[in-house]
Chains A and B, each alone.
Chain A
Amino acid sequence: MIEVEALTKVFTDRKRGEIRAVDQVSLRVAPGQIYGLLGLNGAGKTTLLRLLATLLQPTGGNATVGGFDLRREPQRVRAKVGFLAASTALYGRLTARETIAYFGRLNGLDERTVRERTRQLIDELGMQEFIDRRVEKISTGMKQKLSVARTLVHDPAVLILDEPTLGLDVMAARAILGFVRECRDRGKTVIYSTHFMSEVEKLCDVIGIIHQGRLRAEGTLTGLKARFGGRDMEEMFIKAAGGEIAP
């Protein structure tokens, strides 16, 4: 479960002054639900997700993730969270097996559990072919599978996924979407950010449209279409963002 209440993050930049990257955002994601966060580049998606993963400290508001308070129990929050982003790369000189084991240990698993989880993830994600190869030697698709394994190694209840298909080919992106659906089916709480409208349509139970740090609209795909009209998702998104996006 993720519960966010008026969460705000303000950055201070010497040239641009105060930037409200996330502004009074409130949302709720239930277990077994995929919440799609839709927004342009620089809309505040990554900052919001980094706040939920406790990588950043909020300036205002609060949130609980997996039942733990963001501000007071960041380490416990991280224990409940699997965070996967385009910016979370892997260590090139470790093998795939070593990578899974490393992050398993860092997430508090004992050696026996690390071995069991590694075996399980190899089977589930089909990583037999490259499990003992160095990360720098494997393909982008294989790396993405490994990133998924790294995210799931401690079996987190909450998944925070920030544009996980960015830069992937069609097949690799398809595999990721399949994995996200599986996680939902297992009852995990998933928050998924993207700027691809098609992914949101295929995947998400609830959609939040974020623009200039503010959550402009929220609802199911049907609900948002009924509210904003428009022929397709893109048109609806522009209307929801207040028509402030240049054509």
Chain B
Amino acid sequence: MIFRHIATIYGKELRDSLRDRRTLISIFVVPTLIVPVLTLAVGRIGLRAMSKAREETPVVMLLGGNDSPDVVAALHQSAKFKLVPGTDNYQQLISDKKVRAAVRLPEGFETGLKSGVVQQVTIYYYEGELKSSFAAGNLERFFNDLKDRTVAASLAAHGLPVSLLKPLAVARENVAPPEKVGGNAVGGFIPYLIILLCFTGAIYPAIDLTAGEKERGTMETLLCSQVGRAEIVLGKFFMVLTSSLCAMVFSLLSMVGVFLLGGATIGRGARMAEAAARTSAHAAIPMIDPLGILGVLAMVLPAAVLFSALLLTIALFAKSAKEAQSYVTPLTFLVILPAVVGVLPGVELDARLSLVPLLNLSLVGKEMISGIWHWRYIALIFLSTCVYAGAALAWCVRMFNREEVIFRV
């Protein structure tokens, strides 16, 4: 093994890649510009749509209520919706978005309320339609208020305090530090994202340096030089690894930028932001343990080696870049699946799962970002991923030595 040869091949591949517009796009432009711009744009569009939906006074149809003038008058007075008289085709009107929701008052509603007979109010809405859900929510709040007022009046009439209905109050107090709360909220997502970025960053160069070279006829030129196959593999492998890590780092940096710049705006649209909005806009951004992020990055290094070696080997089997792309696409699902399983609630890290590649990273990453460091599992996962990466690299060298793979016709 001559390290000078490995360095020569790596240097050439790096120079070649930096002159290739497609590589530059996949490593720099997409992660640093397109992804953040799209993220911001989608966030802003979503927020605007949400605000618009909230600001709009929904048209609500009243069905029945002819014998309940007070409730109908209160409904008319509410600024939360615009009441229109009922028609038989109310379901169609809701579907057509001409009316956002409808409410049916039973016959003798007011009389029933006064005499203590349970009244059934039905709200009709279109599940999954945002404005319809808002309208239904407004109606529900209106009738809950009416219910509370009715109960309070009834209790008062009997000389009883309102507190009779609430003999005790239950409150929850959070004792977890903010980074743990943030870790639990987004902890599963971050390792998943890092794993995916690492993988996607390696795809294009892996294909270009193997199947692409075969297709362009440069592979044979390289193989007839004095350099050994293992040196060629390592030179190319380091280039793919560089690309994988660069894509990941640039993506993360740009996302941090987007998070800091646009987090407050986008965050307001999220549920988490709703809860925190009472305090400040910045509280919308979940706190994450920075050491956890660094820990995840360190854990992902052997996974990047694994991806680079695997992608190089798989792409090597193909005769053309197009064929290689069709081999690599299914592999993307194999990468996404364990990472997604790791995000699911209830899946917890144990010694058995520590040996499952990628799922182990996703699970331990979630813990690390929450500030929980299981050192035994961390060591087991790091070592096992190193073993898998080493095996993948050895397989890659082996395949480079097989002429039926290199000269496949």
Contacts and interface: CB of A to CB of B under 8 A. Distances in A.
Nearest 9 CB-CB pairings of A with B = A89-B217, A83-B224, A106-B225, A88-B221, A93-B19, A105-B8, A107-B226, A79-B226, A78-B226
Interface in A80-96: 81, 83, 85, 87-94
A103 interface: yes
Contacts of A220: none
B223 A102 contact: no
- Chain B facing A: main interface SS: helix
Contacts of A83: 224
A145 interface: no
A56 B216 CA distance: 19
A75 interface: yes
B70 interface: no
Interface string B8-49: 110010011001100000000000000000000000000000
Contacts, number: 69
B8 A102 contact: yes
A95 B404 CA distance: 32
Nearest to A88: B221
Given A94-B16, A150-B221, 8 more contacts: A54-B224, A75-B226, A78-B225, A87-B220, A93-B15, A93-B16, A93-B20, A105-B5
Most buried by B among A11, A106, A108: A106
Nearest to B406: A55
B108 to A, nearest CB: 83
Interface residues of B, number: 25
A105 B4 contact: yes
B403 interface: yes
Contacts of A85: 220
Contacts of A78: 224-226
A100 interface: no
Contact of A106 (B5, B216, B404): B5
A81 B407 CA distance: 20
Given A106-B5, A106-B8, A53 B224 contact: yes
B218 A91 contact: yes
A103 B8 CA distance: 9
Nearest to A108: B226
Contacts of A26: none
Most buried by B among A56, A102, A107: A102
